[in-house]
Amino acid sequence: MSSVLLFVLVTLGWFLIEAIIGVFLGLKKPYNVVLLVIHSVLTIFVIAGVISAIFGLLAVDFGKVGSTISLYVASVAVLMLIVDGIRLATLKTEVPAVVLAHKISAFLLAISLIASIVFIIAKI
């Protein structure tokens, strides 16, 4: 379980860095290209971390229902982040509904990663 916990902690760290860069990216178009590329690359690290944690839980025999469900929710949130991020990068004008959906899915990802850390520590 400790290796899975390490995967989730590192993923949460990458996500926090990505969120900070996303805040600096701002709401004004055109976006800063360098920050947008860094934000996109960090998204790949977060995807890899969630996938690694899910596959790491396959090796655990006990106490993994809560952490598995929370990581599945995190994978859905990452998918929503990708779709909304691509829409934000390609739209000509800023659409507040897409920005809100991107922020909500980022919040959902953060909550599910924190919940999976708690579930892994509690072996639920």
- Interatomic CA distance for residues 6 and 1, integer angstroms: 9
Place of tokens 């971390």: 49
**36-41: long-range pairs with CB below 8 Å, 24+:** 36/89, 39/85, 40/85
Check pLDDT > 70 for residue 1: no
Contacts of residue 87, defined as CB under 8 A and 6 or more positions apart, other chains included, come to 95, 98
Express each pLDDT in 6-49 by its tens digit. Answer: 999 999 999 999 999 999 987 778 888 999 999 999 999 999 99
User: What pLDDT, on a 0 to 100 scale, did the predictor assign at position 28?
Assistant: 77
Confidence grade of residue 74 (pLDDT, cut at 50, 70, 90): very high
Of 72, 49, 56, 48, nearest to 1 by C-alpha is 56
pTM of the model: 0.93
Q: What mean pLDDT do residues 48-54 have?
A: 96
Q: For residues 10 and 42, is the Cβ–Cβ distance under 8 A?
A: no
Confidence grade of residue 62 (pLDDT, cut at 50, 70, 90): confident
